[in-house]
Structure 1
Amino acid sequence: MMDARETARAIWQAGVDAVGGYTATQAALGDLPKPDRILAVGKAAGAMAQAALDQFSGVPCLVVTKDGHGDGLPDDVHLIEASHPVPDARSLEGGRALREAVEAMGSDTHLLLLVSGGASSLAEDLMPGKTLDDLAALNRQLLSTGLDIGAMNAERRKISRIKGGGLLSGFSGTRADVLAISDVPGDDLMVIGSGIGALPDAPAFDAQARIIASNAHARAAAVQAAQGAGFDVLANEEALHNDLPTLATTLGPRLRDMPRGAMIFGGEPTVVLPENPGRGGRNQALALALAREIAGCDGLTLVVGGTDGTDGPTESAGGIVHGGIWGDGAAEALAAADSGSYLEQMDALLNTGPTGTNVMDLLVAIRR
């Protein structure tokens, strides 16, 4: 029999596996005609592109993704890996390559565009007069101010040639299919990747754009896994869209008082960072903040993690905590945005590696 930590993690992983980029893309391709070009951008781009290539062999393919997320792709794929969450020079290379690939497609051509979260940082082609320094400074500012993803991406679109429908505005072919994995509330294509897969106004080509995986899909799979493990599911909510301190104080009493069963939450917390933050991301911070709320509670285990397998500028996805995690040094680590260092000391980090998807964050709480 699995212990509580293993059980909670297995439920969390079931949610992530259900929205894997390969699985979701393979299911969505259906009877689509063979495209003339495949473009994939975002944290899940590698897995999505692989599914498309397995169905449409021999199609030229460009993938722009995060460092380490393109491993295993065929050698003939044009792969550009770039930085996330703060863009670098490779981000400009990726954005320019995407725009040039679209503009190079002639009339009577079919484009398959695969989009996932993370594209806001990973691919950019700037408006004239804007530089990489401007872009990096904007991203650092946005990441530290506690804005939600919609507000951040609205600011990013202002300096971009390819966001907000700009990329597909250069397409002169006859058909474009956009398949997107959503990492934003409301699953709005204008917000996912700052709208890199959004359709231009009144496109002059046949266009279809679909959301093929989302946080709701991940939560549904986690619910099914929890029920399969014998738990009554007490909550299934996209309830993590708030600032971190508010979330901790709101969710804390619900978790402390929950009877035997499971609670599943999704969304994306916001964090205001200090001037010199330590190690960690919003999921590690939320895990530690909730560890304070449930300190001393018996039989309660929480997994909090980014579904893409990373959390902020770290290689961990989040944390796995229980009533005994909070202790000396925890308060100082939380205040210094250094939750990752504390969780590592407590052997409480959630490490998954790249998952091939990105549908915001997932929290699983179980009580035996």
Structure 2
Amino acid sequence: MNKDALLGLWQAGVAAVGGSTAVETALKTHAIARPDRIVAVGKAAAAMAAPAAARWPDVPCLIVTKYDHIDGVPTHAEVIEAAHPVPDDASLKAGRAMQKAIADCGPETHLLVLVSGGASALAEVPAEGLDLAGLRDETNALLASGADIGAMNVHRTGRSQIKGGKLLAGFGGAQVTTLALSDVEGDALATIGSGIGDAPDERSFDFTAHIVASNAIARAAVAKASPVPIRTNAETLYDNVTTLAPRIAEQLKGAQPGLHILGGEPVVHLPENPGKGGRNMALALTLAREIAGTQGLRILVAGTDGTDGPTDGAGAIVDGSTWTPDGQTALDTANAYPWLAARDALVITGPTGTNVMDLLIAHKT
């Protein structure tokens, strides 16, 4: 299977969990009533808001998303673009705007909240005593530490006035409906976006939540589109890249011919002054080293949101001929992007309108 065929399978998986498609389906499936206010936050916020805004064009809509992730944004919506994965001034503006939107809802109102991954950085109101500089320092330290998303979100929730159900604690209306794209293991609403769309335990309003897209749905779509037998379909990409890559490579080299699909979100430890890259590029490059010289094995690793770390790439495609010894320097300095780019191995798709963690798709002949 050539590179284009592998990328086509990845795109089939991404299309199945598109934010617009997922929300449109949920609105019909769950017979969601007309809201009085729509608030969407995350990398897929614009795509998620589009079908709701089209159905109810007179309903006020606030969208908070990552810079350059506004394709298809409703014309009447208020849009705030902010930074990810490290928050900036716009993230604080977005957090305050979300607080105000929730607080302005009247006693009988219905609020529709649309949440996708990335919300933790894109919108924030720091806890008392924590300013933007401190928030950025803490975020950078967490990212460099290799902490998993669960540990990061526990920390973020404790340092925020809007995470972990605190945002909706300010809602004085009658009903909240949350629709979420899951970018976390276990698809827990309390973890997606650090619980920014979750409700507090003590509340005076009716609360309903639905997970409308997940990594499992994306992997199922890849499997359905595959022209070759599926040998593996599992959500196991939950470890440090340096541990994960040798394990995956060993399994693939000894596996049956066919397609192997893995999902999840690996982590990386970053050096003091990291270069350009992300966790998917780091995993792909490490896998290239581990399968060097292996015939008949090609591997794609890419983030379903179309971005990997602070780059314009989603990941990379490697095979047994990709690795050369100078790749180790790129790994040691967290500078996989230029190394992979020089070998035409990068996957660059632009924003996809979804975010359900990462996909690894390997074809073995």
State the TM bucket, normalised to the shorter chain: over 0.9
Distance, in Å, in 2 between the alignment partners of 1:160 and 1:282 is 26
Q: Is the 8 A contact 1:256 1:293 kept in 2?
A: no
Which amino acid is the alignment partner of residue 22 of structure 2?
A
Structure 2: which amino acid aligns with 1:167? L
Question: Is the CA contact 1:248–1:289 (under 8 Å) kept in the aligned structure 2?
Answer: yes
CA distance in 1, matches of 2:235, 2:278: 19
Name the residue aligned to 1:212: 212
User: What is the CA-CA distance between 1:75 and the residue it aligns to?
Assistant: 2.9
1:354 corresponds to which of 345, 351, 354: 351
Structure 1 distance, partners of 2:149, 2:35, is: 31
Give the secondary structure class of the aligned counterpart of 2:237: coil
Q: Select 2:317's aligned residue among 315, 320, 324.
A: 320
Q: Matched residues in 1 for 2:245 and 2:207: separation?
A: 42
* Structure 2 counterparts to residues 190-269 of structure 1, below 5 A: 190-226=190-226, 229=227, 231-269=228-266
Report the AA paired with residue 180 of structure 2.
Answer: A
Partner of 1:280: 277
2:308 partner letter = D
Partner of 1:300: 297
For residues 180 and 317 of structure 1, the distance between their equivalents in structure 2, rounded to whole angstroms, comes to 22
* Structure 1 CA distance for aligned equivalents of residues 207 and 159 of structure 2: 25
SS at match of 1:239: strand
Distance 1:162 1:22 in 2: 25
SS, match of residue 208 in structure 2: strand
- How far does residue 80 in structure 1 lie from its aligned partner after superposition? 0.3
- Indicate conservation of the 8 Å contact 1:184/1:192, yes or no: yes
Residue 32 of structure 1 is matched in structure 2 by 32
For residues 218-277 of structure 1, what are the alpha-carbon distances to aligned partners after superposition, in whole Å with 9 as ceiling and x for unaligned? 111111111xx1x11110011100011110111011112233200000001111000011
Residue in structure 2 matched with residue 81 of structure 1 by the alignment: 81
- The corresponding residue for 2:43 is 43
Equivalent-residue separation in structure 2 for 1:33 and 1:325 (angstroms): 53
Report the alpha carbon displacement of residue 93 of structure 1 after superposing the two structures with TM: 0.4
Q: Partners of 1:154 and 1:78 in 2: how far apart?
A: 30
Deviation at 1:137, TM superposition (A): 0.7
Aligned to 2:64: 64
SS at match of 2:152: helix
C-alpha distance in structure 2 between counterparts of 1:36 and 1:57, whole Å: 11
Offset at residue 48 of structure 1 (A)? 0.2
Identity across the alignment (%) = 53
Equivalent runs, 1:162-181 vs 2, <5 Å? 162-181=162-181
* Contact 1:255–1:294 (CA under 8 A) maintained in structure 2: no
Measured on the aligned residues, the alpha-carbon RMSD in Å equals 0.9
Q: Which amino acid aligns with 2:253?
A: R
In the alignment, what sits opposite 1:143? 143
Matches within 5 A, 1:323-334: 323-334=320-331
Aligned length: 363
Which segments of 5 or more consecutive residues in structure 2 lack a partner in the other structure?
A: none
- Counterpart position of 2:3: 5
For residue 311 of structure 1, the aligned residue among 288, 291, 308 is: 308
1:102 offset after TM fit, Å? Answer: 0.1
The one-letter code matched in structure 2 to 1:344 is A
Question: What is aligned with 1:21?
Answer: 19
Unaligned residue ranges in structure 1 (runs of 5+): none
Q: Distance in 1 between matches of 2:302 and 2:72?
A: 24
Q: Deviation per CA, 1:307-340: give whole Å up to 9, x if none.
A: 1000011110000111110014111111111111
CA contact (8 A) 1:306 1:360 kept: yes
Which consecutive aligned stretches of 4+ in structure 1 deviate over 4 angstroms post-superposition? Answer: none
Which amino acid in structure 1 is aligned with residue 132 of structure 2? Answer: L
Instruction: Quote the residue 1:366 is aligned against.
Output: 363
